Amino acid sequence: MIRSELIQKIADENPQLYQRDVERIVNTFFEEITAALSRGDRVELRGFGAFSVKRRDARVGRNPRTGEAVSVEEKCVPFFKTGKLLRDRLNGKEG
């Protein structure tokens, strides 16, 4: 599902809301998660999962075409860990 599909689904299920308001809500939701992660905070959505940031150390990698050694800088990457409720639903254990 992409963002526009999510917005349309929420708008369809809530006819009392204008689509532009639903779009603003969804965009604000994602912007807040992004802002929290950029500050290094953790974002937990109970039953769904938790977003956090992990730091990857600098290392020496390889260019897959040439095999040449390449220096890869330290970087931060987003990390998502599923919540128990989501894991159970994905594995057919309705809880």
Query: pTM of the full predicted structure?
Result: 0.77
Q: Quick one: 92 and 54 in the same domain?
A: yes
Q: Quick one: 70 and 52 in the same domain?
A: yes
Q: Quick one: 59 and 74 in the same domain?
A: yes
Q: Quick one: 25 and 59 in the same domain?
A: no
Round to whole Å and give the CA distance between 45 and 54: 18
Q: Which domain holds residue 74?
A: 47-95
Q: Looking at 1-95, which runs of residues are DSSP E strands?
A: 43-45, 49-56, 59-62, 69-72, 75-82
User: What is the reported pLDDT for 95?
Assistant: 58
Q: Quick one: 35 and 62 in the same domain?
A: no
Q: Quick one: 3 and 34 in the same domain?
A: yes
User: Which residues share a beta bridge with 92?
Assistant: none
Q: Quick one: 7 and 30 in the same domain?
A: yes
pLDDT in tens, 39-81: 999 999 999 999 999 999 999 999 999 999 999 999 999 999 9
The domain total for the chain is: 2
